[in-house]
Structure 1
Amino acid sequence: MKGSIVAALAAGVVLCGPQAPARADSPTLFGASVHQSPGQTFAAALAGTDAAYGTPPALRVFYSGAPGAWTDAKLNTPGRATIVSFKYPPKDVLAGKHDAYLRAWFASAPRDRDVFWCFYHEPENEIQDGLFTAADYKAAWRRIDGLADEARNARLSATTILMDWTLSPSSGRRWQDYYPGSSYVDVMAWDVYGFDEAKSETMAAHDASRPGLEVARSQGKPYAVAELGVRDHANRPAMLRDIAKWMRNTADARFVTYFDAYGWPEYALNGDDASVQAWRGAVTGTLFAGTPALTTSAGPAAPTSTSIEWTTLVDPAQKSGWVSCASWAVAGAGAFSEGPRRFVTGNPETITCTRGGLTPSTAYRARLKWWDAETGGTLLHTSNTVDQTTAPA
């Protein structure tokens, strides 16, 4: 790693992207809960989900009490991320009644896939109804998180799941009342409902009124949607495509799983082929496929007398490749510089390039280049160019 940094500095171009490592390594996962009809086995229901959506890489599963063993069909899904919630009375947790089971459960969790665990998703109504207090809920969460930490498993993520309704002023609630503290949380997820289907409300507009993304970022946590529900409506297929694109294009969005569970027919996609195909496009990635797009702009820093910066939003369009910075003097020769290369795949990300050692009061032109991995590293695409002039000495 140090060698590549030195080489980059020697070349006079530094390719960096503060958000890019996390985005490249952790693309947004799309998935669903499993539509399990009465009397149907989970395995059979999962086969139906796979047939409909194309083997979702993320599955949302629920336990009304203790979480099942990892051999349980709900959890025994190698190669897929699992978002799993379970419930205990908080006072029982605080009394240590479930320490032994949970300690063993976390210790035996898989280490080859991501597991997003949640103690008591959507606790708001139970707290409002007096089943337990917010203080006991948060204290129980902290105790369970301590048990999870004992496993020393980096693939386990403590994930709060609250209603996005809680973020609406109309709810009269404060999300902070249900938050155990940033030291005990890895991901902040929300159950997202209440869209205005008749007006084809966009995800951006919905988040503006119920700002789950902004709350997660305020705590320095990745954002996720554990349940997504759009009621049956002629506008639903287009809304699902909009939601999927918004999630994919949003930095720090870890996963979104559609709530396709039995018993809520207004949200279930079963029988609505257009909506099934829309969500299948998100799950399989065909919704985002196309030609890689590179859009370059000046900055973010203003030119100095010896340096310029430029940024490029890179959308891989479901492809993989390498990108590099390139710049040259608008007039004259001998001022071209390029490199280093950096591998990109998955979600869109922003690449920032810096070139130093330049001549004052001189115009320079810059862009980003793309070498396609599917064609053996062939240069296929270049971004638009931007011109900047260095400041006087």
Structure 2
Amino acid sequence: MRTTALLLAALLPVGLLGLTSGGHAASAPSPTRAVTDRTSDPTSSRTSGRTADRAAGCPIAPRWHRTATRFGVSLGSNGGGSMKDDLTTEERRFGTRVPVVRTWDDTMPTRTPWSEKKRWYGSRWVVTSIRVTPQDVLSGRYDRDLRQYFRTAPRRTPIFWNYWHEPEDEIRAGQFTERQYVRAWRHVARIAGSFCRDNLYPTLVLMGWTANSAATPTWQQVDPGRRFVSVYAWDPYNGALGDAREYVAPRHLFSPVVRASKKSHRPFAIAETGSVRVPGDTDGSGRARWLDKVHTYARQHHAVFVTYYQSTRNGDFELRENPEIRVWRKAMR
């Protein structure tokens, strides 16, 4: 979740901010084909070229084949502790298995990026981000680390990976340009695609605000193109600053991101969403009804996944007690 540049939200009513930041059993049908790693780990420009030749018939962005929407929560959103501990806490809190987890890496994971994580991810769907500047990516500085990252990723569960989620603030601040971002995204996607792994889904994650016509940059300016993106994911909030005064209907909050994704001929997902309790909703019953509507809307519009921002950062979005817990537990089952 991001807070800089959120003053843009003044262009919309408070309730329409939408700016930023399923299946239960492990035996649920997999949306992917049997996964094999048909390439060696290329660790030099020469082997990279050979790998690209061998992978010429493999899609950079594997197509997602529709399944029922799955729901989950973010891990590590409040800082401190380990994501494993966070997962244990959340599953105890909700009284059910969390089918989809949203995680972030603030930099480029190196050495053994998945060795511990995949033991506790299990068969859960993983929505995850890596974050190094486009300038460094385009220099080739992280090519070896990127290959290690994708080569060692879990093979039998969908990995919805993202490069630099929500790049809009940095672009507006002049840290890098739309062109640099798009080029870097495509560079990372080509490296991931070189392994011919059809469970690695490049997933563009943008602020919910960016789907609106008044956004700067527009989502089209930072779109690498559907050849490089399997899923378009968004972070629309009901009051991203934690100052919502009403619960905005999901059909109003999410419809811009649904329309934008349809224009790209790719499925959409919600990588972050949430709402604080609005004034007067002392027992959370209003937020519970809103969550139930989010669940219904997402299923009806065939979202790939929806992960709730389980955090107290920038507002108390965290779900801690019934009836809110009961509604989201039902969604995750």
The TM-score with structure 1 as length reference comes to 0.62
Q: Work out the percentage of aligned pairs sharing the same amino acid.
A: 30
The match for 1:267 is 317
Q: Secondary structure at the match of 1:273?
A: coil
Deviation at 1:77, TM superposition (A): 0.6
Instruction: Tell me the number of residue pairs that the alignment of Structure 1 and Structure 2 aligns.
Output: 258
* Larger gyration radius, structure 1 or structure 2: 1
Cα 1:261–1:198 shift into 2, 3 Å: closer
1:27 paired residue among 53, 68, 71: 68
Mapped pair 1:220 → 2:262: no
Could you list the structure 1 runs, at least 4 aligned residues long, displaced by more than 6 angstroms after superposition: none
Deviation at 1:177, TM superposition (A): 1.1
Q: Which has the higher contact order (CA 8 A, sep 6+)?
A: 2
Mapped pair 1:82 → 2:126: yes
Mapped pair 1:119 → 2:163: yes
Deviation at 1:267, TM superposition (A): 1.4
Mapped pair 1:55 → 2:102: no
Deviation at 1:39, TM superposition (A): 4.2
Deviation at 1:226, TM superposition (A): 0.3
- What is the correspondence of 1:122-141 to structure 2 with a 5 Å cutoff? 122-141=166-185
Q: Is the 8 A contact 1:122 1:161 kept in 2?
A: yes
Q: Is the 8 A contact 1:224 1:256 kept in 2?
A: yes
Please tell me the residue identity of whatever aligns with 1:207.
F
Cα 1:73–1:103 shift into 2, 3 Å: closer
Please tell me the residue identity of whatever aligns with 2:264.
Q
Cα 1:45–1:139 shift into 2, 3 Å: same
Mapped pair 1:97 → 2:97: no
- The farther-off stretch of 86-95 and 69-78 is 69-78
Q: Is the 8 A contact 2:73 2:101 kept in 1?
A: yes
Q: Is the 8 A contact 1:193 1:229 kept in 2?
A: yes
1:201 paired residue among 235, 248, 251: 248
Runs of 5+ in structure 1 lacking a partner? 1-20, 285-393
The TM-score with structure 2 as length reference comes to 0.72
Q: Secondary structure at the match of 1:27?
A: coil
- What is the correspondence of 1:131-210 to structure 2 with a 5 Å cutoff? 131-194=175-238, 198-208=245-255
Q: Secondary structure at the match of 1:213?
A: helix
Q: Is the 8 A contact 1:36 1:261 kept in 2?
A: yes
- What is the correspondence of 1:220-239 to structure 2 with a 5 Å cutoff? 220-233=265-278, 234=281, 235-239=286-290
| Per-residue deviation, residues 290-311 of structure 1 (Å, max 9, x unmatched) | xxxxxxxxxxxxxxxxxxxxxx
Mapped pair 1:240 → 2:291: yes
Distance in 2 (CA, whole Å) between partners of 1:136 and 1:129 is 14
Distance in 2 (CA, whole Å) between partners of 1:52 and 1:27 is 24
Deviation at 1:99, TM superposition (A): 0.6
Deviation at 1:158, TM superposition (A): 0.3
Could you say which structure has the higher strand fraction? 1
Deviation at 1:277, TM superposition (A): 1.9
Please tell me the residue identity of whatever aligns with 2:165.
H
Cα 1:229–1:74 shift into 2, 3 Å: farther
Distance in 2 (CA, whole Å) between partners of 1:87 and 1:126 is 12
Deviation at 1:109, TM superposition (A): 1.5
